[in-house]
């Protein structure tokens, strides 16, 4: 009955059931299968195998338009979705969540997190406020109407204020035409209660075949000796509790959250894997000690195609940060690591890995500082190791890798205390190397 949690990114080969447990369509990953590219935001990529059950768990926030769009795309590509299950308890991202997220981000003078503007934060906020709309509500028009009305009521005012403020800013910036769009107090058509209920009842009809008691489905699979993979989205340093708050997402991407977000117990988890790139990236604002602003950073960006799958934004790139990675290994209690995109580092020259930070006052920091201000001003100290020039994209086993690449991986494993078991050398599913260590 192995239950395996994978945090940090996406992957899932030997499992029969793949379960997403948090986040929403802020996540995004690209899978290349036989040269064909698939982009996913909500549906686990296991859907490409018709014999796997793919679950969107209760901890995920689901934008029904996005989910139906992904279902339609898969169907168009000839891929069946009969094996997709959606938790009846998952919360829905509603149009007002998206508006509030966007409005909040454009509000000048406010701390900008650089969210994906997909409504993630406002949706989780409503969940905590007990004003959320759940998947199961789509199946009962009366309840749906009552709940949407209740959820909208306290937001009308906020949305109006935000729109007035936005118009004022646009006018001040000389953008009169944009400012004139939609007068103050005129309700946004996207917020019309009647239309919204009607649209969502329709979504409910379309999603009904997939709606299920997904916790029970996980229990059955685990008790039936199947391997269940619990797939995290985002990554540890974006964790609402343990990441670089407030520059984080609004859920818990760490392994511990798999139990809550899927409905299983801690004893159901047998293994935890972490996925990290061979270098570091970050989208959005927030501290990033090893960030590079030079040619090497640009090379990582270009060669690694480091543009967000969801928003297309440039990812900030930098050297591997082993202080942060060791923190993530412990926080998730990882058993093993998968290091992806090692091929991107070839030809870069000597490689650097951050092994400690130094505070502004000169103190040596061997562990990830809990105080955000210290992290903001910390400078990394690096270990430099030889790089490699060989193109790794056709390597398929450890012995194909140059010694320098193997040493780089060994350095990471030694430092963080868990083995690197899998290495990615390109975007295709075949471009992986299993290591024995
Ligand atoms: P939100 O999740 O849209 O609220 O965005 C909060 C922060 O998390 C922003 O810095 C985003 O760029 C970042 N973020 C959210 N989802 C992902 C992801 O899947 N990968 C990388 N960064 C993400």
What are the tens digits of pLDDT across the range 273-288? 999 999 999 988 899 9
Residue closest to 15 by CA, chosen among 37, 48, 39: 48
pLDDT exceeds 80 at position 228: yes
**101 & 79 share domain:** no
Looking up residue 155, the CATH number of its domain turns out to be 1.10.300.10
121 lines ligand 1 (CB under 6 A): yes
Q: What is the pLDDT of residue 168?
A: 78
Residue in 146, 145, 149, 154 with CA at minimum distance from that of residue 122:
154
- Report residue 146's pLDDT band, with 50, 70 and 90 as the boundaries: very high
Atom 2 of ligand 1, residue of closest alpha carbon: 249
**Index of the ligand 1 atom closest to the CA of residue 23:** 2
Kindly give the distance from the C-alpha atom of residue 1 to the centroid of ligand 1, in angstroms, as a whole number. 32
More confidently predicted of 293 and 313: 293
Q: Residue 437's pLDDT band (boundaries 50, 70, 90)?
A: low
Is residue 214 within 8 Å of 87, Cβ to Cβ?
Answer: yes
Domain that holds residue 380: 3-83+213-434
3-state SS, one letter per residue, for 194-239: HHHHHHHHHHHHHHHHHEECHHHHHHHHHHCCCCEEEECCCCHHHC
Residues 231, 166, single domain; the answer is no
> What average pLDDT score do residues 178-196 get?
67
Looking at the structure of the chain, the number of domains it has is 2
pLDDT class of 166 with cuts at 50, 70, 90: low
Of 209, 239, 265, the one marking the end of a domain is 209
Nearest to 199 by CA among 92, 77, 278: 92
Residues 270, 156 within the same domain: no
In this structure, are strands 316-318 and 280-282 parallel, antiparallel, or unpaired?
Answer: antiparallel
Distance (Å) from CA 62 to ligand 1 centroid: 15
CATH of the domain at 365: 3.90.170.10
Residues 257 and 302 in one domain: yes
Is pLDDT of 11 > 50?
no
Q: What are the pLDDT digits (tens) for 298-311?
A: 999 999 999 987 78
């Amino acid at each position: 009955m192995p239950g395996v949690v994978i945090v940090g990114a996406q992957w899932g080969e030997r499992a029969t059931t793949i379960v997403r447990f948090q986040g929403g369509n802020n996540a995004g990953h690209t899978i290349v299968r036989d040269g064909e590219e698939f982009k996913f935001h909500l549906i686990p990529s296991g859907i490409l195998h018709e014999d796997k059950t793919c679950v969107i768990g209760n901890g995920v926030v689901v934008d029904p338009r996005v989910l139906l769009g992904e279902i339609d795309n898969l169907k168009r590509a000839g891929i069946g979705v009969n094996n997709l299950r959606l938790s009846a308890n998952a919360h829905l991202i509603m149009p007002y969540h998206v508006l509030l997220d966007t409005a909040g981000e454009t509000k000048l003078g406010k701390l900008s997190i650089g969210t994906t503007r997909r409504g993630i934060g406002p949706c989780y906020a409503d969940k905590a406020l007990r004003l959320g709309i759940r998947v199961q509500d789509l199946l009962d028009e009366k309840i749906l109407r009552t709940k949407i009305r209740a959820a909208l009521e306290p937001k009308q005012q906020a949305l109006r204020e935000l729109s007035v403020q936005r118009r004022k800013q646009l006018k001040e910036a000389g953008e009169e035409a944009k400012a004139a769009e939609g007068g103050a107090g005129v309700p946004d058509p996207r917020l019309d209660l009647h239309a919204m209920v009607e649209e969502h009842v329709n979504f409910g009809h379309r999603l009904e075949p997939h709606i299920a008691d997904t916790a029970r489905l996980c229990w059955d699979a685990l008790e039936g000796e199947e391997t269940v993979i619990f797939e995290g989205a985002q990554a540890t340093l974006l964790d609402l509790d343990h990441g670089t708050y407030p520059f984080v997402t609004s859920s818990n991407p760490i392994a511990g959250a798999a139990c809550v977000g899927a409905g299983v117990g801690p004893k159901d988890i047998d293994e935890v894997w972490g996925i990290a790139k061979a270098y570091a990236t970050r989208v959005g604002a927030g501290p990033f000690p090893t960030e590079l602003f030079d040619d090497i950073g640009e090379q990582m960006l270009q060669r690694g195609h480091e543009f967000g799958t969801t928003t297309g934004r440039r990812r900030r790139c930098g050297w591997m940060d082993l202080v942060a990675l060791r923190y993530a290994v412990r926080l998730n209690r990882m058993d093993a690591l998968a290091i992806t995109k090692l091929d991107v580092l070839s030809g870069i020259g000597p490689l650097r890995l951050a092994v400690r930070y130094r505070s502004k006052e000169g103190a040596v920091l061997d562990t990830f500082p809990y105080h955000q201000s210290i992290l903001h001003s910390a400078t990394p100290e690096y270990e430099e190791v030889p790089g490699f020039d060989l193109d790794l994209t056709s390597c398929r086993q450890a012995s194909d890798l140059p010694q320098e690449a193997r040493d780089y991986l060994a350095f990471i494993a030694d430092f963080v205390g868990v083995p690197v078991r899998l290495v990615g050398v390109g975007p295709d599913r075949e471009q992986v190397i299993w290591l024995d260590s």
